[in-house]
Amino acid sequence: DGIVTGHGLINGRRAFVYSQDATVLGGSMGEMHGLKLARMQELALEAGVPIIGLNDSGGGRLQEGPGASVYGTVFYNNVNSSGVIPQISAIMGSCAGGACYSPALTDFVIMVDKSSKAFITGPKVIQQVTGEVVDLETLGGAATHSTKSGLCQLVARDDYDCIAQIKCLLSFFPDNCTQMPPVYQCSDDVNRRIEELNDIIPDNKRRSYDMKSIITKIADDNFFFEISPMYARNIIIGFVRMGGMPVGVVANQTGCMAGCLDINASCKAARFIRTCDAFNIPLLSIVDVPGYLPGVQQEHDGIIRHGAKMLYAWAEATVPKIIMPIRKSYGGATPAMCSIDMHADFVMAWPTCERAVVGADAAVAVLYKNEIEQAADPAAAREMYKKMYEDEFLNP
pLDDT of residue 68: 67
Residue 294 buriedness (CB in 10 A; 0-12 / 13-18 / 19+): exposed
Q: Is 97 considered catalytic here? A: yes
Catalytic residue among 333, 344, 356, 360: 333
Q: DSSP assignment, residue 149?
A: I
Q: Is 333 considered catalytic here? A: yes
Catalytic residue among 97, 291, 307, 359: 97
Q: DSSP assignment, residue 92?
A: E
Among 324, 122, 290, which residue's Cα sits nearest to residue 218? 324
Q: pLDDT for 52-95, tens place per residue?
A: 999 999 888 888 877 667 899 999 999 999 999 999 999 999 99
pLDDT of residue 62: 84
Q: At what angle do helices 263-278 and 303-316 cross, to 10 degrees?
A: 20
Q: What are the respective helix, strand and coil percentages of the chain, to the nearest 5?
A: 45, 25, 35
pLDDT of residue 395: 87
Q: Is 362 considered catalytic here? A: no
Q: pLDDT for 14-52, tens place per residue?
A: 999 999 999 999 999 999 999 999 999 999 999 999 999
Catalytic residue among 332, 362, 365, 375: 332
| Main-chain dihedrals φ then ψ at residue 332, nearest 5 degrees | -65, -15
d(CA 68, CA 123): 22
Identify the H or E element spanning 385: helix 378-392
| Residue numbers of the chain with a pLDDT score lower than 70 | 67-68
Q: Is 332 considered catalytic here? A: yes
d(CA 37, CA 126): 30
Q: At what angle do helices 378-392 and 360-367 cross, to 10 degrees?
A: 120
Catalytic residue among 53, 98, 122, 259: 98
pLDDT of residue 97: 84
d(CA 256, CA 122): 33
The 8 Å CB, 24+ separation contacts for 180-185 are 180/280, 181/245, 181/246, 181/279, 181/280, 181/281, 182/246, 183/243, 183/244, 183/245, 183/246, 184/241, 184/244, 185/244
